Structure 1
């Protein structure tokens, strides 16, 4: 059976494909930017594939929280960090509102295999947001609410929902292109993040069902 790896955009998929060994039982596909597009795109791929896939990994570049550009992050769980409600007392998560859960756990065996294959990767919460953080105030609030977070991206929670709906193990891998904080495009190192993504592809190819 095949591992499905979904990315937001084609450039991320191409970076991963460059690092896959010939004949790897891995399908890499871009499904769109943001949690809604990621959930819909992943669910469509899974529905069309029957029982072809054995697990799903959300992969791509993201912003580092305490990690420098070029680093690799592995999710211990995904958190939809801005799914909830604003209030005079501050942000209320979906869990606090009683409408479900804004967190999605990753498969322990999948995470353990990725940590073994990528010993330099840092594991922690990976946040899914619809609006990326771009101010010092927003970063401070994010760190306050999610002290164990190591990265921020835009698709993981959506992919997790699709994988869980199909009854498949889920994981998330992010390589860091920039530090989460005040938006400074000049400091971004997207090339380094793509290179790290290519390097991580062999670990994905080595995963076993």
Structure 2
């Protein structure tokens, strides 16, 4: 559905571009991205789609809008659940080697609206293995990742695969719902994807 709406919202892509689906979740995204890199040898990767929006005091970021992210991190790689959770980095497991400056976060190529202020906080996306089921879970995740603006289930995997292959990557996500709100009647998927398409036109 996301791919179809994006294609319909953009009046023609450059000939050298292709839109591919990478599946659902961190495992499928990692495998599919690796397959596509080996098959197509892209010069650049742009991750597009929907994400949940954490509460933020910024009118620029609302449900139905889209944004380019500066970095992506991941939750769920470690031990325990809830308040007992400890990340792999906290346990001393350097599983990302040289890909990350802090053991959990990957920098990505800035979007066309990149901050001119070098001191501005990076726009961070949080990738998870299972999305927040309710506002309480969303609040717990936000407390562990206070800099995260959105929640998705694929982007970290794509970024890691791209980094390992030496391919620049950008991440553009539309906010379809508040993180932890699972009633899809309240979601704004169409508006979010239309916003993604509008932002994507800036780089086509």
Pairwise TM-score range, normalised by the shorter structure = 0.7 to 0.9
What does residue range 7-86 of structure 1 map to in structure 2 within 5 Å?
11-22=1-12, 24=14, 25-50=16-41, 53-66=42-55, 67-86=61-80
- After superposition, the Cα gap between the structure-2 partners of 1:80 and 1:17, relative to the gap in structure 1 and judged at 3 Å, is same
Provide TM-score, normalisation by structure 1: 0.80
- After superposition, the Cα gap between the structure-2 partners of 1:88 and 1:70, relative to the gap in structure 1 and judged at 3 Å, is closer
Conservation of the 8 A alpha-carbon contact between 2:112 and 2:203: no
Q: Which residue of 2 aligns with 1:174?
A: 173
1:29 alignment partner, SS class: coil
Q: Which residue of 1 aligns with 2:98?
A: none
Question: How many angstroms apart in 1 are the aligned matches of 2:203 and 2:168?
Answer: 14
Count of residue pairs brought into register by the alignment: 185
Cα offset, 1:20, TM superposition? 3.6
Cα RMSD after superposing both structures: 2.2
1:168 alignment partner, SS class: coil
2:136 alignment partner, SS class: helix
Q: Provide Cα deviations, 1:26-79, integer angstroms capped at 9, x if missing partner.
A: 2110010011111111111110124xx211121101111134221112222111
Q: Where in structure 2 are there 5+ consecutive unaligned residues?
A: 56-60, 96-102, 116-120
* Structure with greater strand percent: 1
2:62 alignment partner, SS class: coil
Cα offset, 1:21, TM superposition? 4.3
Question: How many angstroms apart in 1 are the aligned matches of 2:9 and 2:24?
Answer: 22
